[in-house]
Amino acid sequence: MSMEKKRNAAKPERDRPWLIRTYAGHSSAQASNALYRQNLAKGQTGLSVAFDLPTQTGYDSDHVLARGEVGKVGVPVSHLGDMMTLFDGIPLDQMNTSMTINAPAAWLLSLYIAVAEKQGTARASLQGTTQNDIIKEYLSRGTYIFPPAPSLKLITDVAAFTYREVPKWNPMNVCSYHLQEAGATAEQELAYALATAIAVLDAVRDSGQVPEEDFAKVVGRISFFVNAGIRFVTEICKMRAFCELWDEITRDRYGIEDAKYRRFRYGVQVNSLGLTEQQPENNVYRILIEMLAVVLSKNARARAVQLPAWNEALGLPRPWDQQWSLRLQQIMAYETDLLEYEDLFDGNPAIERKVGALKEGARAELAKIDEMGGAIAAVDCGYMKQELVRSNALRLADIESGLTKVIGVNAFTETEPSPLTSGEKSILTVDDMAEQDQIEKLKAWRSERNQAEVDATLTDLKSAASEGRNIMESSIACAHAGVTTGEWSETLREVFGEYRAPTGITSMIMTGDAENLQDLRKRVDEVSDKLGERMKMLVGKPGLDGHSNGAEQIAVKAGEAGIEVLYEGIRWTPEELVRNAIEDGAHVIGLSILSGSHVPLVREVVNGLRAQGAGHIPVVVGGIIPESDMLVLRQMGVSAVYTPKDYQLAKVISEIVDLVDRKSSDKTAVSSNGAGDAHGDAALY
């Protein structure tokens, strides 16, 4: 036997690696297509599409709520032409595509199928996933459109359609990722995700769209998208608990006998919540450790992995930053011997104890949700949202007090300047012209299509939705006719209505240092006495950014301090926030924006206040904001800017109270002198 044959014979068999992805998309379909091709050429084995906020919330790029948001956190897709450009030169019959899309998931899948048909690809050959998890959107990410019941119907339509027409497609990725990002404990992440899956499967089973003998096929196509945090032993155990609980639920609740249909199939993006703005180079180690939690245990190994970039706490990652995360996966999959071995944790008593404890906690929480009437009822009454806000407040309080150590944040903060963050192009920025270019292309698309065909397909879509029929075939017809994302969504808004989810901050809780909080309350009382009324703070989320964690925690802490908090959740226009602040008599406005659209949206709020003679109301801003933009915000009149490094919330609230005190004193002094500009200024401290 030759030496080469002997060497090959001696090599152990290796498992196939997981799908290797990066979550990507920005600016335009053309720019994103170029990025996808680059990543595939570098060895990425699947696509994960990030859509911009207007697309995620069902608006066209020229809608008033889309101002400043187009192309910022993903790719804008307004119609079939955009989708064709996005996948130009990428044969869909050879691709496994994950689309992070929820409320309009049926629409984006329809566009994807229409593109495949334009390419000559059969529906049945398509492989991939639509996230399509509306329940977690009410709890964490905020890109919902419709009320829970019709949203569940849309998920059911996609599941019933795909198991017949696109059998290799996962119609839903039950998404616990954003639950952990919103502060969920491991037990809550398990319970809330499983409760969501149960709600969907119950709805599909009861819909009459799937014959009883085919129901197992639907169960087998439900996948999950999870999070993995820094406590990687707990995360390993959480994944093993997920696998065991899902097997138990599908067997006992739904009577699924075939083990392959009971398999817990999941993809993962590791934790972004724990990425730090301070010493961001440390995030590379965090990402590696978190990835280990979902690849080390063979019996609970992820089917697909995508990793954030080390600098995502600073802004959009560049292609090189994404490449660094891609190489991390490839080194683990191809250079190590991980895939040559059986499960490394079977029979480990410490692992078994922890898995058992997590399962027990998750079962108890599932029972509580079941008593309420299931996941939909637990969303409507605000229970799950309140519990997430509570858990996140306790998590932040532990960091603030130092009980939880975060390297570079509240421990070992001494550091050398990082060469990785130096220079003007250390993060990716979206060209300001991208939005206008997209709007011009959208207008041209509308002018060139057959309007009669558009009207006819939208009429059929409305009839299908009104009559309770499956909307997928009529949606695919809309896609081919040239219907836009906004038109599709508006048609269903007319049938189903819109929804505003509970904020979860109705019950305030004690957190942080009690002595500091007591002093802060006294200070708020003093300033309120000077004002002649209780100090009021409007916490606002302008635009389409639905990541409300920061706004919620500021609202909770301000409420604990004795401030009257005016917070009505997400998705407000700048004009509405200005009107609300004036009508409710706010003494300060706090704007939270994490989508990168802070400059245009804050400018509209500040200018709106001045135009209404309320420029004396100070404005503070929080979000992922580069230093260069901080100066821009201050120049336009913002009083203070806070970023993730400002984790001591009591200190933030204290500074805001001092700001209100100074502004009220300045206003009183100007009034007593008989001078002053009615339009004032939003403060330049």
Residues with catalytic function: 23, 177-178, 541, 545, 547
Phi, psi of 399 (to 5 degrees): -70, -45
How many angstroms separate the CA atoms of 78 and 483, rounded? Answer: 9
Residue type, 134: I
How many angstroms separate the CA atoms of 597 and 624, rounded? Answer: 10
Strands (E), 44-186: 47-50, 96-100, 127-130, 169-170, 173-175
Torsion, Cα 159 165 166 172, to 10 degrees, reads -10
Lookup result for tokens 């919902």: 144
Phi, psi of 539 (to 5 degrees): -100, 120
- Give the DSSP per-residue string, 21-33: E-EE--S-HHHHH
Interacting residues of 248 by C-beta distance below 8 A, sequence separation 6+: none
Residue type, 88: D
**Sign of the dihedral defined by the CA atoms of residues 259, 264, 267, 270, in that order:** negative
For residue 259, with 0-12 CB atoms within 10 Å meaning exposed, 13-18 middle and 19 or more buried, which class applies?
exposed
Helix or strand (DSSP H, E) at 610: helix 598-611
Interacting residues of 569 by C-beta distance below 8 A, sequence separation 6+: 142, 500, 501, 503, 541, 548
Interacting residues of 496 by C-beta distance below 8 A, sequence separation 6+: 146, 147, 150, 465
How many angstroms separate the CA atoms of 571 and 576, rounded? Answer: 10
Q: H helices of 2-143, where? A: 3-10, 29-41, 53-56, 80-86, 105-119, 134-136
Structure tokens at 161: 């359609």
Lookup result for tokens 């030759």: 2
For residue 666, with 0-12 CB atoms within 10 Å meaning exposed, 13-18 middle and 19 or more buried, which class applies?
middle
For the sheet containing 619-622, what is the strand order?
564-566, 536-540, 588-592, 619-622, 640-642
How many angstroms separate the CA atoms of 281 and 270, rounded? Answer: 16
Residue type, 322: Q
How many angstroms separate the CA atoms of 428 and 500, rounded? Answer: 33
How many angstroms separate the CA atoms of 393 and 411, rounded? Answer: 20
CB 544 within 8 A of CB 595: yes
Q: Nearest Cα to 406, choosing from 305, 313, 307, 318?
A: 313
